[in-house]
């Protein structure tokens, strides 16, 4: 369907363009008047009236076709008394039978019936799709052709359309935000209708197991997210202990001491650290750092977990070094030169100038940089999924196994997803918390940095 609809739409584009052009040319010949805009714009006008409705039809078909067919199938399915059904599995089976990709023997009659119904519905849908897209393209073009006359200012209209398209493009970002907020809040609401919000925020027990049958002993799930928040915090602290000193000192060295040549080579090298995919850091943490931490722990007499907070935190720290160094570098560079010269002029040496003049002056900006780095560290997923644990554990010992918000989101969604149990829905509640925290950290950091910039401009 994809290929042929592209062909159809291309044919439509070509013929509507030609149609529009020939129409306005004919009008010009017959009336011998000058048209208000160039031929091309008239042609484009007809083209847009052909293309845009066709695209709307195409996308609405692509989005709704499968769902409507599924609902029709399920409505007319001949349920056998006493048998248990799962809608998703049933539909998958019907689809496999219809596409001849199910080779197991002995399909029941109602499945075969449903499969043939599925096939015929698909065919009907495809035929009606082609018919409706052709009709809509023809109607659109005819409408546009009828509107063309010598007095018609096609250029104005086209420019108005372009502007609408541009507005639509820039509103995609807003729509994305709305989509994020909508999906997080909607699913979290479903989660909190099953689990109380106070339990989620303040209880320290996180056992997200769901009883398989009702009344099963010892399998009642509990969803207290405090150990998860604590684990996230611990990993973040370890990461900042690595990244803050190294990143800040590197930024100071590069902006105040290093020669132009060193700066030009080191900066891109540090940017490599920022460009390495996070799964690569995860691999590094899992294969190299975690065994090292374990043997280091043994050598000082601590029994380190193979999925310790320390290993994940150390590697995460390495990952955020470039964020801190490049942001702090910008901030330090925007401290006015006069402050430096004043300090050096009264006899302070470079280190004293940096420590007593530049850093205090740049402090708000550096704090902003740290906040951005923290927000990065909290939202980071792959390092902790690979290198940190999955079991919730309320501890402040970095050698122990902890889990984080992002790990729990992945764990909840990686297997079967059933959107009626709190195990799956908890991912959205955790995602909401993550979203709110990172967003507010970010807004705060940007505001601080902006205020700081204004001070020296």
Partner 1 sequence: MNSIVAQERIIALRKKRSAQDLRFKYYGFIAMCLALAVLVFLLYSIFSRGFSAFQKTTILLEINYDQEVLKLTPDSTDQEIEKGKFFKVKKNALNNVFENLSKSDAKLIKKLFSTNIDKEIKNYYIDNPSVLNTTQKLWVTAHSNVDQMLKGNSRRDVPEDRRKLNDIQLSFIDQLVEEDRIQKEFNNFFFTRADSRHPEIAGIAGSFMGSLLTLFVVFILSFPIAIGASVYLEEFAPKNKLTELIEVNISNLAAVPSIVFGLLGLGVLLNVFGFPRSTPLVGGTVLALMTLPTIIIACRASLKAVPPSIKEGALAIGATKSQAVFHHVVPLALPGTLTGTIIGLAQALGETAPLIMIGMVAFIPNIPTGITEPSASLPVQIFLWVESAERGFQEKSAAAIMIILLFLFMMNALAVYLRNRFEKKW
Question: Which residues ranging from 221 to 260 are in contact with partner 1 (CB under 8 A)?
Answer: 245-250, 252-254, 256-258
Output the smallest distance, CB 285 to partner 1, in A: 10
Q: Which stretch binds partner 1 (CB under 8 A): 11-19, 156-164, 228-236, 296-304?
A: 156-164
Q: How far apart are CA 341 and CA 349, in angstroms?
A: 11
Angle, vertex CA 220, rays to CA 219 and CA 226, nearest 5: 115
Report the run of H or E that residue 207 belongs to, with start and end: strand 206-207
Identify residues 316-345 at the interface with partner 1 (CB under 8 A). 318, 321, 325
Q: How far apart are CA 115 and CA 20, in angstroms?
A: 46
Among 55, 127, 166, 201, binds partner 1 (CB under 8 A): 166
Report if residue 400 touches partner 1, rule: CB under 8 A.
no
| Site size for partner 1 (CB under 8 A) | 93
Q: How far apart are CA 3 and CA 156, in angstroms?
A: 34
Backbone angles phi, psi at 104, to 5 degrees: -70, 150
Identify residues 258-317 at the interface with partner 1 (CB under 8 A). 258, 266, 269-270, 272-273, 275-284, 286-288
Q: Which of 248, 236, 237, 233 is nearest to 365 (CA)?
A: 248
Among 6, 120, 417, 455, binds partner 1 (CB under 8 A): 417
Q: Based on CB atoms, which residue is closest to partner 1, 234 or 382?
A: 382
Report if residue 438 touches partner 1, rule: CB under 8 A.
yes
Q: Based on CB atoms, which residue is closest to partner 1, 107 or 267?
A: 267
Q: Based on CB atoms, which residue is closest to partner 1, 222 or 438?
A: 438
Report if residue 6 touches partner 1, rule: CB under 8 A.
no
Report if residue 196 touches partner 1, rule: CB under 8 A.
no
Report if residue 186 touches partner 1, rule: CB under 8 A.
yes
Q: How far apart are CA 311 and CA 78, in angstroms?
A: 56
Output the smallest distance, CB 426 to partner 1, in A: 12
Q: How far apart are CA 400 and CA 402, in angstroms?
A: 6
Among 386, 392, 402, 449, binds partner 1 (CB under 8 A): 386
Q: Is 84 exposed, middle or buried (0-12, 13-18, 19+ CB in 10 A)?
A: exposed
For the chain, how far is it from start to end, CA to CA, in angstroms? 58
Identify residues 126-145 at the interface with partner 1 (CB under 8 A). none
Question: How, if at all, do strands 206-207 and 222-223 pair?
Answer: antiparallel
Q: Is 267 exposed, middle or buried (0-12, 13-18, 19+ CB in 10 A)?
A: middle
Backbone angles phi, psi at 341, to 5 degrees: -65, -35
Q: How far apart are CA 40 and CA 27, in angstroms?
A: 14
Tokens 């980071």 belong to residue: 380
Report if residue 10 touches partner 1, rule: CB under 8 A.
no
Among 56, 211, 220, 350, binds partner 1 (CB under 8 A): 350
Identify residues 32-91 at the interface with partner 1 (CB under 8 A). 63-64, 66-67
Q: Based on CB atoms, which residue is closest to partner 1, 155 or 334?
A: 155
Q: Which stretch binds partner 1 (CB under 8 A): 44-52, 115-123, 141-149, 170-178?
A: 170-178
Report if residue 100 touches partner 1, rule: CB under 8 A.
no
Output the smallest distance, CB 20 to partner 1, in A: 18
Q: Based on CB atoms, which residue is closest to partner 1, 145 or 318?
A: 318
Q: How far apart are CA 129 and CA 69, in angstroms?
A: 14
Among 154, 358, 373, 378, binds partner 1 (CB under 8 A): 378
């Amino acid at each position: 369907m994809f290929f042929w609809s592209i062909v159809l739409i291309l044919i439509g584009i070509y013929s509507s363009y030609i149609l529009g052009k020939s129409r306005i040319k004919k009008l010009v010949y017959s009336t011998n008047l000058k048209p208000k805009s160039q031929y091309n714009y008239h042609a484009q006008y007809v083209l847009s009236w052909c293309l845009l409705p066709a695209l709307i039809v195409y996308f609405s078909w692509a989005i709704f076709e499968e769902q409507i067919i599924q609902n029709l199938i399920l409505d007319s399915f001949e349920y056998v008394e006493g048998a248990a059904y799962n809608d998703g599995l049933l539909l998958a089976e019907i689809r496999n039978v219809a596409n001849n990709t199910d080779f197991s023997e002995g399909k029941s009659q109602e499945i075969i019936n449903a499969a043939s119904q599925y096939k015929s519905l698909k065919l009907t849908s495809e035929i009606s799709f082609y018919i409706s897209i052709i009709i809509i393209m023809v109607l659109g073009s005819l409408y546009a052709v009828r509107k063309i006359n010598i007095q018609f200012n096609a250029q104005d209209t086209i420019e108005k359309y372009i502007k609408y398209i541009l507005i639509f493009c820039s509103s995609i970002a807003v729509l994305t935000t709305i989509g994020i907020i909508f999906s997080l809040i909607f699913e979290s609401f479903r989660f909190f209708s099953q689990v109380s919000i106070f339990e989620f925020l303040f209880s320290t027990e996180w056992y997200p197991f769901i009883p398989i049958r009702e009344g099963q002993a010892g399998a009642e799930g509990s969803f207290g997210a405090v150990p998860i928040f604590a684990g996230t915090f611990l990993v973040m602290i370890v990461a900042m202990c690595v990244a803050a000193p190294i990143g800040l000192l590197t930024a100071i060295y590069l902006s105040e001491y290093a020669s132009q040549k060193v700066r030009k080579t080191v900066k891109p090298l540090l940017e490599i650290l920022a460009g390495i995919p996070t799964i690569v850091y995860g691999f590094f943490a899992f294969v190299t750092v975690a065994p090292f931490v374990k043997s280091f722990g043994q050598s000082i007499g601590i029994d380190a977990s193979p999925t310790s907070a320390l290993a994940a935190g150390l590697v995460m720290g390495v990952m955020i070094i470039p964020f801190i160094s490049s942001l702090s570098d910008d901030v330090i560079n925007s401290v006015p030169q006069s402050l430096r010269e004043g300090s050096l002029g009264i006899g302070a040496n470079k280190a004293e100038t940096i420590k007593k003049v530049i850093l205090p002056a740049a402090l708000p900006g550096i704090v902003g940089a740290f906040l951005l780095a923290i927000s990065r560290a909290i939202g980071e997923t792959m390092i902790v999924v690979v290198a940190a644990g999955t079991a919730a554990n309320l501890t402040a010992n970095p050698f122990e196994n902890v889990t984080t918000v992002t790990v729990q989101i992945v764990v909840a969604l990686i297997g079967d997803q059933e959107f009626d149990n709190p195990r799956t829905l908890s991912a959205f509640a955790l995602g909401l918390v993550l979203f709110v925290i990172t967003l507010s950290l970010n807004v705060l950091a940007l505001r601080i940095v902006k205020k700081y910039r204004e001070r020296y401009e």
